[in-house]
Amino acid sequence: MFGNIAGAPVSKYRDAFNRLSKFLMDKYEGCLLAMIFSPSSAPSLDPSFLGTKLSLLLQDIKDECNRLFVQLLAFGGSITFPEYFDKTVRNMNINEVIYIIPTRAGASASLMVAATHDKMYLNPWTILDPFNISISIPPGAPKDISLFIAMSELIMNMMKSEGKDLTQQISYQALSLMAAHGTLYEYIEAQRLLNYLNDLIEYKIKDKLKISVEEFKEVFLGTESKPPSHVSGTEAIEIFREAYIMDNNLLKLSSYLEKSAVEEMENTGTNGLIITHKSEMRIGGGIQVAQVVPHF
């Protein structure tokens, strides 16, 4: 177990982390990474800020175990974060990623779990949110050069077409208006992200499913006539091959960690906690530094 930090007693959430960490190390020889974010003001799962900070913390434990348990309570973020996370941990010689989700994984977090898990442990009442593609592009401005080229080619192809009838002329004018107001950028970006998501499902998620890809998409993406739906832990074990309901020990230890971490964030105005047995990081609340603590 951990001792005191600089002579002070170990805090409640740190004690909770230590207990679960020791349990997982003793029983499975696995390291624990806790990513627990405030439900009311969670930081975004993005590859830039959060990805970089996470990489720095993981470097401290990369040579100590090749099995990583990730306790997760997260909301919001980039659709590309799951792939970033997977590449980061796999390149640190971590061969197995196991998620522990006592309560909820938001849209990007549930996508990360679906795409990168080797196993996942949930409670019957755990919620996995449906996937969500969020687009924010300034009106009239392309997000990047490839998006600008795609939009330009679409308009130029229409302009070059022979013998434009009235419908084609109206279509060209409509596209020009959409481009001027930024709507066309958003449309093309949405299509590009949807294609990326479909590739992620095909190459990262498909082999992890008990159900068909079509059934999976209907649940997590919805259809034209049916919105996507949240998935409970009980439903998740019917969808994913390596999904399990927690036993009593894991339930108690992970719930204690999540509850005490949320209390810590509420008391300090912190937005998130990322913890390993070597170090921890608080996001928001005036503290955004990694704090080194004694190890086993």
Please write the tens of the pLDDT for every residue from 206-248. Answer: 999 999 999 999 999 888 888 888 999 999 999 999 999 999 9
Q: How far apart are CA 219 and CA 110, in angstroms?
A: 12
Res 96 pLDDT > 50: yes
Q: What is the CATH number of domain 12-129+230-292?
A: 3.90.226
Q: Over pLDDT 70: what percentage of the chain?
A: 74
Given a cut of 50, whether residue 288 has pLDDT beyond it is no
Query: Which strands, in side-by-side order, build the sheet including 31-37?
Result: 243-245, 119-122, 96-101, 67-73, 31-37, 272-275, 279-283, 290-292
Q: Answer yes or no: is pLDDT of 149 > 80.
A: no
Type of residue numbered 171:
S
Rounded mean pLDDT, 259-285: 91
User: What angle (nearest 5°) sits at the alpha carbon of residue 118, between those of residues 191 and 198?
Assistant: 10
> Binning pLDDT at 50, 70 and 90, where does residue 117 land?
very high
More confident residue, 76 or 96: 96
The domain ranges of the chain are 12-129+230-292, 137-207
Rounded Cα distance between 230 and 234, Å, is: 12
* pTM for the predicted model, two decimal places: 0.81
β pairing state of 127-128 and 104-105: parallel
Nearest by Cα to 51 from 63, 62, 59: 59
